[in-house]
Structure 1
Amino acid sequence: MKRFFKWLGAILLGLSLLIGSFVAHEWYAEKPLSFRIFLDRTLIKFSLETPEMLTSLGILDSVGITAHNGQLDDLSLTHDKEKNHYIGQVVQVLNSYDNSNLDEQEQLTKEVAQYWLSQMIADPELHYHDYPVNQLFGVQNNFPTFMETRHQVKDEQGALYYIARLEAVELKFNQLLEGLEFRENKGIIPPKFVIKRVLDEMRGFVETPAHENILYTSLEQRVMALEDISAERKARLLNDAKNKITQSVYPAYTVLIDYFVALNIKATDTVGFWSLPNGDKAYKRALEIYTTTDMEPDEIHRLGLSEVTRIKAQMLSILQSQGYDTSAGFSKAMEALKADPQHYYEDSDEGRAQILADYKDIVDEIDAGLSKVFNVRTDVPIEVVRIPEFKEQTSPSAYYQQASMDGSRPGRFSVNLYDIKATPKYGMRTLAYHEGIPGHHFQLSIAQELEGMPMIRRMSPFSSYSEGWALYTEQLAWELGFQDEPLDNLGRLQAEIFRAVRLVVDTGIHAKQWTREQAITYMLENTGKAYSDVVAEVERYIVNPAQACSYKVGMIKILALREKAKTALGDKFELAEFHDAVLKNGAVPLTILEKIIDNYIAEKSE
């Protein structure tokens, strides 16, 4: 983290202390003389408006600036309008920097920033085509998760900020309600199943006694561990928290519950974006954002069908070699595999604890064996944890949460242990490689530590790159011999066909008018995944259109670029150097990644 502190000191402290009037000019000028200062200043100003992001990053805490930890993000329509106006001004200034005055990396940074920021403000009439309250990543379930996993309680002040945030929920949810009503008036209403899911979740949340709620128990555990305050003071803090949960948090959730009970009358069972006003256009825009391509829904649908056919043939071959009867077809063979108890852990607390321990061993093993194919590495630690039980039923099989930039919180590979049959042993290696090393944890941690890069490059959020990379590493691990058991390779192929099926299902739902049931049936027939897993996934695509398409599109592009480099360079090709070119520039749109690899090929060819 030393590089981060160098950057932080140069930007935050330096702005006020080092260069006097010049720095003041650079901070307040419409167009700073320094392109780098303009970019970092933009990110700082944007971050200062999002206290939850500041808490997650840990940027200001290390220099003693902590007041944001007692605040929540502003969700008001006015704030949205102001934010978009500010981004529009930033884009204008960004475009005014002449490329002839920028070095090669600065030109690349400009191109990445232009793409990212312009996408954020494009098509303003479509900005509210989403469901902010949903069963997967809604505001209502993100809040307790954020408080448990992101909000730090290292001293009494941290506890006081925690309590302040409990009180601030009422304002945040009132702002949220304003946006929900705005969407309702535009005809952007979630499907009935989404409303049922969130109502069940929120009712269970508020019916839990305050002292048993995750917001209380999470704080209690951390407060009781503090050594520098008295038992009496701890008791008062926890009592204050309990009162805030009862008097502020639960009433805020109750208002949302009442709203969705009323909204359910207007909702339908139709699940695709095609049914919304301007829905086709909104879905096309979502595909552009997530895949960073101009691929049409039909093109992506056909690609998915083709990949499903290819991968299924390889899986059938492995199943047959392992003694499973494939004469009745793929689905029956996978059912037989799923029904075999030897592939599962004991359905108990002990069994679930062993799953977490084995995941950690898998991650540690591959981390120790990557030196030949990666020059760039990271020392950021990773931990394997269980997804909070209150949200397991509606969560995916796993996800990754990035480490804080100040080093106070490691990266987190979170695993869903609700249904033990959703964690077959033969699929664990692939999942650990995707979420952990050399997948998300590896790539995101390296991006955080890129020396000399402006922060906008270290934090760029291009899903086709990051998810494409994680899926690419699943195949890479197999190529390196980490999935040498046939069933481990079957697990890899099952994960890959899962992503190919996503191309079919996502476009099917949002462009081809598939029902939720059609999507579930197709995914069950073509993946061999547990029913609970499939339902959660399909319902994810419904509330987050196009994101699921980014995985396979990104993987295919990275593999194509690797093959392009191999063909062009011949004996000069080195896999570690190719990985350097991909990783050492941070996340970028796929079109820009191709330029980066073309430059790598040209330089290596000289």
Structure 2
Amino acid sequence: MKKFFKWTGILLLSVILIGSALATHEWYAKKPIFFRAFLDRTLIKVALDNPELLTSIGVLDSMGFKGHNAELNNDSLEKADEMFELMKQVRTTLLSYSDDSLDESQRLSKEIALYLLDAGVASEAYRFHNYPVNQLFGLQSDFPSFMDSQHQVNTVEDADNYISRLHKVDVKFAQNMEGLKVREQKNIIPPRFVIDRVLDEMQAFVDSAPEENILYTSLEKKLNDANEIESSEKTRVLNETAKVITSHVYPAYQSYIDYFEKLKSKAGTDDGLWRLEGGDIAYQQALQFFTTTNYSADFIHETGLAEVERIQGQILTILESEGFDVSQGFTTAIEALKADEQFYYPDTDEGRAQILADYQVILDEINASMGEVFNVLPKAGMEVKRIPEFKEKTAPGAYYQQPSMDGSRPGVFYANLYDIKATPKYGMRTLAYHEGIPGHHFQVSISMELEGLPIFRTLSPFTAYTEGWALYAERLAWELGFEEDPYDNIGRLQAELFRAVRLVVDTGIHAKRWTREEAIEYMLNNTGIAESDVVSEIERYIVMPGQATSYKVGMMKILELREKAKAALGDKFDLSEYHDVVLKNGAVPLDILERLVDQYIQTKSK
């Protein structure tokens, strides 16, 4: 995202401030002279038509332009139609750049751009096969979160822009309602549990007094922190905010409450896309987008079943060798492991501090050896921090934050220390390798440090590649001898098992006609995860079809291609060179990655 800020500023400044003939031509021409300018300009123009994104980026604010902060996105169906038409136009222009006129890197950028555009164009026919208001995300939760985390308030103008946006909430909700009603006409209605969840959420939102609503309390805190705003203005702004929450925001939410209350009678308990007309095609499209393969649901399902059996067998073998009773099966054995107090830190501040220190030791240890298997190492450093306590209760178990472009801030592996039982010692190495080194930190940092790539190449949404690499990194660390303790290896296998189970339940729900309850039972019996977490996971897969399959598919492909290169090259195979091929082009679809590896094999074989 930092590169987006940088290049947006450069291109806008060149047009707005410099005003050179060449810069102006590149901005307005149907087909810019420079291929890179066309790619970057296209993305920037889309951003300029997205005031909420502009607020998040902040680049125009730094240039003194703030008008967009008073606006909300146009979410109408007509605007969506325009976007699909734009994708077709961009695709046509992209194809007009002949491959002969482009260098190798540009040809790859063209291919990846076409991949994304083709996926977007193909999705138009099934654009309504989803539930845009659900228990995980949607306008009802995204809007207050956006206003709280993204809309900055440092001046009176900022505060007035905040109020302006609140005035426009009812329009935004009405625009989104258009899509909900189209889905209802097409009988694309969320399962009953989804409706129940969002009704509870929205009812709680409107039941609070305006002065207790997050849209008020968040603004109040920002105003208190804004030294430049006079007290009288703060009072005025807060009074107006309370009024507009009552007059515009709550009625908008109430319209959704009324709608979903009526819709509930039409909702059923079948959860998969299979139940919708064209749902099988929509699901296959989702699988193709998230896995960047042509794997069928049946193939992914059967692969998942086989992987679950293989991984569980390995875990049971290790547990038996360590003296655990495995005669009662996997679930009983894994519960006995989880109950062993030797694997947990003290539930104290000192215990949590020791977890962070031990994570850093793990990362420093493996980082010292990475030069043996990587030719290119990230320049950015890496550190471990605790997820801020105010949000760790609802935060994920861990996540990675990329380093700053200017090198002033290292990459950060954030660990959730809310529940000490969620950090067993035998799972720590695997998590550190996944989020940190050589996982997300290596992949993200190296990508950021690549020179000459267009903006979209640094933002490409290829989960199969990014999460596949992080899972591969777990396996690589074990292969290199960093998980010699058998319990650490169980932690690695458990993490892989979790992703293998996802292959089974996601396809089970959306293609095999499994019920929500059947999927919950399978995941409970095959992972050892707490029931509350399993329910949340399964409900996530129901409203995000296909996404959960990308992790394991990506890992398996990266391993498969490595073995392919080993078999073809024999003694000529070099692991460092293989990692170069995988990492030095940024995130790519898996079929393109396979071609890049094939090219490496062909070149190395000569």
What TM-score comes out, normalization by structure 1 length? 0.89
Helix, strand or coil for the counterpart of 1:265?
Answer: helix
After the TM superposition, which residues 490-509 of structure 1 pair with which residues of structure 2 at under 5 Å, given as runs? Answer: 490-509=490-509
Contact kept in structure 2, 1:344 and 1:425, CA below 8 Å = yes
After the TM superposition, which residues 128-207 of structure 1 pair with which residues of structure 2 at under 5 Å, given as runs? Answer: 128-153=128-153, 157-207=157-207
RMSD, aligned α-carbons = 3.4
In the aligned structure 2, how far is the partner of 1:275 from the partner of 1:57? Answer: 39
Residue matched to 1:124: 124
Partner AA of 2:72 in structure 1: L
In the aligned structure 2, how far is the partner of 1:355 from the partner of 1:132? Answer: 42
User: How many Å apart are 1:149 and its aligned residue?
Assistant: 3.7
In the aligned structure 1, how far is the partner of 2:129 from the partner of 2:198? Answer: 18
Partner AA of 2:387 in structure 1: V
Residue matched to 1:467: 467
Residue matched to 2:387: 385
Residue matched to 1:551: 551
In the aligned structure 1, how far is the partner of 2:155 from the partner of 2:343? Answer: 45
User: How many Å apart are 1:31 and its aligned residue?
Assistant: 1.6
Contact kept in structure 2, 1:359 and 1:432, CA below 8 Å = no
Partner AA of 1:122 in structure 2: A
Partner AA of 2:35 in structure 1: F
Rate the CA distance shift 1:189–1:2 in 2: closer, same or farther, 3 A. Answer: closer
Contact kept in structure 2, 1:468 and 1:551, CA below 8 Å = yes
Residue 259 in structure 1 maps to residue 271 in structure 2: no
**Greater displacement, 296-305 / 559-568:** 559-568
Contact kept in structure 2, 1:70 and 1:164, CA below 8 Å = yes
In the aligned structure 2, how far is the partner of 1:241 from the partner of 1:90? Answer: 41
Residue matched to 2:486: 486
In the aligned structure 2, how far is the partner of 1:110 from the partner of 1:466? Answer: 20
Rate the CA distance shift 1:386–1:266 in 2: closer, same or farther, 3 A. Answer: farther
User: How many Å apart are 1:67 and its aligned residue?
Assistant: 3.2
Contact kept in structure 1, 2:8 and 2:44, CA below 8 Å = no
Helix, strand or coil for the counterpart of 1:264?
Answer: helix
**Greater displacement, 454-463 / 419-428:** 419-428
Residue matched to 1:530: 530
Partner AA of 1:336 in structure 2: A
Rate the CA distance shift 1:167–1:28 in 2: closer, same or farther, 3 A. Answer: same
Contact kept in structure 1, 2:4 and 2:455, CA below 8 Å = no
User: How many Å apart are 1:310 and its aligned residue?
Assistant: 1.1
Residue 278 in structure 1 maps to residue 278 in structure 2: yes
Contact kept in structure 1, 2:160 and 2:237, CA below 8 Å = yes
In the aligned structure 2, how far is the partner of 1:243 from the partner of 1:601? Answer: 67
In the aligned structure 1, how far is the partner of 2:469 from the partner of 2:196? Answer: 35
Partner AA of 1:379 in structure 2: A
Structure 1 vs Structure 2: percent identity of aligned residues? 56
User: How many Å apart are 1:507 and its aligned residue?
Assistant: 0.7
In the aligned structure 1, how far is the partner of 2:391 from the partner of 2:87? Answer: 38
After the TM superposition, which residues 218-257 of structure 1 pair with which residues of structure 2 at under 5 Å, given as runs? Answer: 218-257=218-257
Residue 565 in structure 1 maps to residue 569 in structure 2: no
User: How many Å apart are 1:38 and its aligned residue?
Assistant: 1.0
Helix, strand or coil for the counterpart of 2:387?
Answer: strand
In the aligned structure 2, how far is the partner of 1:158 from the partner of 1:407? Answer: 30
Alignment size in residue pairs: 603
Residue matched to 1:33: 33
Contact kept in structure 1, 2:210 and 2:245, CA below 8 Å = yes
User: How many Å apart are 1:369 and its aligned residue?
Assistant: 3.9
Q: Name stretches of at least 5 consecutive residues in structure 2 with no aligned partner.
A: none
Rate the CA distance shift 1:435–1:71 in 2: closer, same or farther, 3 A. Answer: farther
User: How many Å apart are 1:405 and its aligned residue?
Assistant: 7.2
Q: Per-residue CA shift, 1:190-212, capped at 9, x if unaligned?
A: 10111111122222233344444
Partner AA of 2:74 in structure 1: D
Contact kept in structure 1, 2:27 and 2:41, CA below 8 Å = yes
User: How many Å apart are 1:136 and its aligned residue?
Assistant: 1.4
Contact kept in structure 2, 1:58 and 1:405, CA below 8 Å = no
Residue 579 in structure 1 maps to residue 548 in structure 2: no
Rate the CA distance shift 1:401–1:145 in 2: closer, same or farther, 3 A. Answer: farther
In the aligned structure 2, how far is the partner of 1:573 from the partner of 1:154? Answer: 57
Rate the CA distance shift 1:215–1:376 in 2: closer, same or farther, 3 A. Answer: farther
Q: Name stretches of at least 5 consecutive residues in structure 1 with no aligned partner.
A: none
In the aligned structure 1, how far is the partner of 2:277 from the partner of 2:107? Answer: 39
In the aligned structure 2, how far is the partner of 1:314 from the partner of 1:396? Answer: 27
In the aligned structure 1, how far is the partner of 2:436 from the partner of 2:580? Answer: 18
Partner AA of 2:115 in structure 1: Y
Residue matched to 1:11: 11
User: How many Å apart are 1:575 and its aligned residue?
Assistant: 3.5
What TM-score comes out, normalization by structure 2 length? 0.89
Q: Per-residue CA shift, 1:323-346, capped at 9, x if unaligned?
A: 321111111111222333454567
Partner AA of 2:476 in structure 1: L
- Radius of gyration: which is bigger? 2
User: How many Å apart are 1:398 and its aligned residue?
Assistant: 5.0
Contact kept in structure 2, 1:469 and 1:558, CA below 8 Å = yes
User: How many Å apart are 1:68 and its aligned residue?
Assistant: 2.9
In the aligned structure 2, how far is the partner of 1:176 from the partner of 1:405? Answer: 36
**Greater displacement, 301-310 / 420-429:** 420-429
User: How many Å apart are 1:36 and its aligned residue?
Assistant: 1.2
In the aligned structure 1, how far is the partner of 2:586 from the partner of 2:325? Answer: 46
In the aligned structure 1, how far is the partner of 2:365 from the partner of 2:29? Answer: 49
**Greater displacement, 356-365 / 63-72:** 356-365
Q: Per-residue CA shift, 1:483-519, capped at 9, x if unaligned?
A: 4433232122111011111111111111110011111
Residue 510 in structure 1 maps to residue 510 in structure 2: yes
Residue matched to 1:81: 81
In the aligned structure 2, how far is the partner of 1:124 from the partner of 1:313? Answer: 43
**Greater displacement, 211-220 / 493-502:** 211-220
